[in-house]
Structures are given as C-alpha cells and as structure tokens.
Structure 1
Amino acid sequence: MASYDILLVNSSAGKDSQAALDVVVEAARAAGVADRVVVVHADLGDAEWPGVPELAAEHAAHYGLRFEIACRSRAGQVETILERVAQRGMWPDSRRRWCTSDHKRGPIRTVITKLVTERRAATPGLNRPVRVLNVLGLRAEESPARRRKIPYAANPTASNGRRAVDDWYPIHDWPASKVWDRIAAAGTRPHPAYAAGMTRLSCRFCVLASRADLVCSARLNPTLAARYAAVEEETGHRFRLDLSMADVIAAANGASSPAGAGAQLTLI
C-alpha cells in the first residue's frame, strides 16, 4: 500500500463501493498513508439515482478524504447516457459497453491525469512514473464476466510514461452478506434505493441489470422509464434484445409495491 503515490477509490455510492472504501481506508491507515486516498465519482446525470453524487461525497467525508467528481460533458453540462442513445440510435450492451468507457472510465482517467500532475509538481526531481492504485468494488458473484477478472493486476491501458496504474478489487470474493456486515460496522449510509427493493445501485436503467431490478426501478422512477421507452420507440432499437423498456413498464404497472407509495415519492 505504501508503495503507491495515489490510492484512488472509485465510488458509485453503492454498497460495494462503500465496503471497498472501508477496506482501503483501514489498510491505508495501517500503512500510514491514509492521506494518499482519494475518492472519485463518475456523475452520470439523470441516468443515476437521485442523491448519488452527494452520497458518494458523504462517504468520502466520513473518512475525511478528498473527493473528486468526473463526468462526460458537453457545453458545460453533463452529457447523459440517454442523450447519447438518441444520438447513436442504439443502446449499449454487454459487448459494446460504451456507457462504461465513455461516461465512467474515460472521465475518471482525466481525474487520474490531474492527480498525477499534482503529485509530480509536489515532488520536484521525481524521475519515475507516479504509482496509482485504482480501486473498484467489483465482486465475482455479480456476473460471470466479473468472476473471471483478476483481483489485482497492472492496467497497461491506463498507464503511460508518467504513471503506472494497477487495478485492485479488494472485495472480489465477498458475498453480499459480508458487504452489508462491513457497511454496518463502518457506519456509512446506504442509498435508500436498496430499502425500496433494488439489489444494485448502478444506472437506474442499466442494460445489464436483472429484470427484477429493472421492474423495481420502473415502479420507483415512472417518469424516467417513460423517457427511456420514448427513446426506444424513436430509435427503433430495443432497450435489450430479450427485454424492451415497454415490457419493463408493463411489468412495473402490474407489480405490487412492497416499499409503499412513500418510497416512490422519495426516489422519483
């Protein structure tokens, strides 16, 4: 841990980010390098749940950490994934995840560049690449693709002559129960979407989400769901090959609400 100049924790404000952040802070404090931890959040605009950027900042503040926010912007405004779907005429999918590369990974690498520049300026005569540990709360049980990932490895595409970046997934082998236990012990606040029935806190309508999460989200976010359905109709391209947004909305309209109407009003 102490061999890294920057310990960058990617935070979606979701449960896995919360647990991973707590693990990193504990390890950094033990190594005497807690001052090197920075939390970064990729702002996805209205694609993500209300209050997410503020909650990510709250999680960072809980530990007294620096917080950075990144986004893909156009004309000074956050460019949303839905806007780009309308432009492209098609949705992202598991093979073409431009939503992740363009709206998360790319903007966060811009933050890495800034942090590396600051580090080099603060260390005159530094004649080696700045070492960056890039931390993400990815867990193996979430998907077969994540199960195949190596929990700690060099990231050559994010590295260059000025920086050497390694990726670390500190909770890669954790079950969800261990994640929630860690959060309870840490004392950080989960997003209310979980209490309302969501199992993950990604985009409100992620093409890789489970059908159950999509239906739950449509029940909690009917206005945004309608916008997604309108773009689906305009582009003539289904939200997912096996599931249209119109089908999701129909299922949500027929679903009972275990969280009650109050939760719906809170989250829209």
Structure 2
Amino acid sequence: MAIMKTEVGQTTLFVNVLSLKKYDKIIVSMSGGKDSLACLLHLLELGVSRRKIELVHQCVDGGPDDEEFMDWPVTEAYCKAISKYFGIPIYFQWRKGGILGEIMRSDSLTNDVYFEQKVKRSKKVVKLETTRGAKATRLKFPAMKADLRTRWCSSSAKIDPFRRALNNNPDYVGKKILVITGERREESSNRAKYEEVELHQCNSGKKLVHSWRPVIDWKEEKVWDIIKRWKIQPHPSYMLGWSRMSCFGCIFSSPNHWAMMRQIAPERFEKLVDLEKEINHTIDNKLTLEEKAKKGNLDLLPAGEELKYWTKIAMGKVFSVEDIIVQDWKLPIGAFRGSAGGPT
C-alpha cells in the first residue's frame, strides 16, 4: 500500500492507494490515442485481470444522431476494435450535440449527458438531464488556453460526461475504483505539473475513487515501444502524420495540420470555415482557418497509395478487429513530430 498526497483547497491530504488487486473496477479513459493505449497495455503487463478493467470513451461529437464535426470519423470504431480484441468492455459517453451543440448554445442550459451502462450481457443508454446551472450563450469556439473554463471543449465534451456517468452509475456504488488516464508531463508545461496519483473528484461516501496517470513520466519513445511490443496498429491519424490523436479539428492544430485537413477532408475543413463566418468568431485570435491553412504545408502527409488507404480508413466508420494486430509493425509517420495538434 502506497501513500499519495493530494491538494484539496488549502489542505494537503495523505490518502492510502490500494494495490491494483484490491480495486473492484479499473476504468481506463480510452481516447484511441497512443497514450491511453499504452496505459491499457501497461496494466496488462502488470498482470491486472481483464475482468476488472473497463474502457470508457467520450464521443466529442455527441451521440449516433448528432452531426460529425470535430472528431475523426473512425475513432469510435477503432476503440471498439481495441475492446473486442482484448475482450475488455467499452462504454461510450457523450453530451447531446457534442462540441458543436455547445458552440451553438444560445440562452440555454448545456445539453443533457448520455452514458452506456452494463445490463446483464448487454448495455442500455442512460439519459442524465441537465436541470441545474445558468442559461448562457456561447456562439464561440473554445479558447486556445490551458484554462478549462475558457478551453471548455475538454471539460464539456469529455470531463463532465465522464464525471456525471461515474457519479450516476449505480454499478459503482460501494466499489473501490481506480481511474486511469494517459497524460504525460513531456507533452506540455501544464501537464508537467500534474500529480501521478490523486483523489478523484468523484470520490465520495458512496464509493472510493482514486486517479492514476501511469505513463505520466514516460517519454514518447517508451509509449511507442510498448505498442510495438504488442504489435498494435496505432490509430489511423498517426499514419497520416498527426502527432497526437485529439480531435480531427482540434483548436490547437498547427497551420500544417489545417492544411493537411483541407487536403484529405475538404468538406470537413469547410464546415469549420463556414461556422467561423456564421458566428463571426475564429478559432485563432489572429487568423481565420483559411489564412492559417495557407501558412501550412503537406510535408507530413504520406504519399501515393498509403495516403489514399489511410485517408479512406480515417474518414470511414469501420475498423476491423482483425486489423488491430500488425505483424510487420512500423513506426507511424506521425511519431516524434512534437506536440502540435493537441491540448496543452
């Protein structure tokens, strides 16, 4: 048993961290990116029983009936394939309307949250109505800031749906839960300040919830090494030259990534361009997306048939479990390309 320190207001608490065997549930926040995948593989190498692990994924564009807008179309299918290959269940969570719904919010509460809950051998979708809070108007993109109050895409589309699902799922009552996320200090100066272990905000008298960032001190090389060791196919975005698997239309995308998006998915790029004009607000404080893309180049994109193949996969909604393992594993073109294209 280890001791961890966590800050609550002005008070420093010392909390007993259990051995991995003593948690009833270990919940891995699975974005589909390399770091969350490395977390899962690390748990398995530590000998954690797959029966204790659950994967959760927040659908940033909302539910099945909502419009594709910010995310890679293939991401949910890729996460399902990971789930199926390892025999570990995955549960999806989302806010109605996703990020686009929040951008277009006008004199209203934020939209309701939905989450999948296990029911015997199946799942059901649970709706959590938003009844509290103040009505507000956004009509703005999230700010390119570390502060989640202004860079609200992460808090609204990911953190809050996860929190509400965890707090309202009766399956977790009375359980000891460990939440796993894949932040790494190498990624940014802000993440360098994160604690490796801490008391999760969902901890309560009804359930014990700890948070662990097992790869926080890993260098990128170690992340790719464990994925290579397991011969897992990385998310298609890496094969197309993206360095981090965040939203396809991530607000932190570099000029190169906007140019690359315009090249492989012009209709998706135009959606964002049109929205900037509609709401009279740009993602970047100084440049429109069209201006920013013009400053970029396509040097990171693969060429020829490889480009055609991975574009088709990335922009589709099918990813086979048979494609998860790659015997002739190769480092993706997006590896070691720096932190552009992801959150701070």
Please tell me the TM-score bracket, short chain as reference: 0.7 to 0.9
Aligned 8 A contact 2:256 2:295 in 1:
no
Q: C-alpha offsets along residues 198-237 of structure 1, whole Å, 9 cap, x if unaligned?
A: 0011111112344433433333222111111111112221
Aligned 8 A contact 1:17 1:137 in 2:
yes
The change in CA–CA distance for 1:209 and 1:139 in structure 2 (over 3 A counts) is farther
Code of the aligned partner of 1:61: K
Counterpart of 1:72? 95
Residue 132 (structure 1) aligned to one of 177, 187, 195: 177
The change in CA–CA distance for 1:149 and 1:178 in structure 2 (over 3 A counts) is same
Counterpart secondary structure, 1:112? helix
2: CA distance, partners of 1:35 / 1:265: 34
The change in CA–CA distance for 1:197 and 1:160 in structure 2 (over 3 A counts) is same
The answer to whether 1:104 aligns with 2:158 is yes
Code of the aligned partner of 2:171: E
Code of the aligned partner of 2:276: E
1: CA distance, partners of 2:248 / 2:298: 17
2: CA distance, partners of 1:137 / 1:56: 15
Question: May I ask how many residue pairs the two structures share in their alignment?
Answer: 249
The change in CA–CA distance for 1:71 and 1:264 in structure 2 (over 3 A counts) is same
Tell me the TM-score normalized by structure 2: 0.67
Counterpart secondary structure, 2:104? helix
Aligned 8 A contact 2:28 2:180 in 1:
yes
Residue 180 (structure 1) aligned to one of 216, 220, 224: 224
1: CA distance, partners of 2:191 / 2:269: 27
The change in CA–CA distance for 1:235 and 1:17 in structure 2 (over 3 A counts) is same
Aligned 8 A contact 1:225 1:249 in 2:
no
Code of the aligned partner of 1:18: L
RMSD, aligned CA: 2.1
Tell me the TM-score normalized by structure 1: 0.84
2: CA distance, partners of 1:53 / 1:65: 15
Aligned 8 A contact 2:241 2:300 in 1:
no
Counterpart secondary structure, 2:183? coil
The answer to whether 1:58 aligns with 2:81 is yes
Counterpart secondary structure, 1:8? strand
Code of the aligned partner of 2:164: T
Q: C-alpha offsets along residues 141-162 of structure 1, whole Å, 9 cap, x if unaligned?
A: 111111110111112x322221
Structure with the higher strand share, 1 or 2: 2
Counterpart secondary structure, 1:2? helix
2: CA distance, partners of 1:257 / 1:105: 31
Residue 81 (structure 1) aligned to one of 99, 102, 108: 99
- C-alpha displacement at 1:264, in angstroms? 3.9
Counterpart of 1:16? 35
- C-alpha displacement at 1:240, in angstroms? 2.0
Counterpart of 1:126? none
Structure with the higher helix share, 1 or 2: 1
The answer to whether 1:90 aligns with 2:133 is no
2: CA distance, partners of 1:242 / 1:20: 37
2: CA distance, partners of 1:243 / 1:23: 41
Counterpart of 1:25? 44
Report matched runs for 1:1-268 at 5 Å.
Answer: 1-29=20-48, 33-45=49-61, 46=68, 47-73=70-96, 79-87=97-105, 88-93=138-143, 94=145, 95=147, 96-113=150-167, 115=169, 117-120=170-173, 129-155=174-200, 157-251=201-295, 255=298, 258-260=301-303, 262=308, 263-268=310-315
2: CA distance, partners of 1:212 / 1:241: 17
The change in CA–CA distance for 1:13 and 1:162 in structure 2 (over 3 A counts) is same
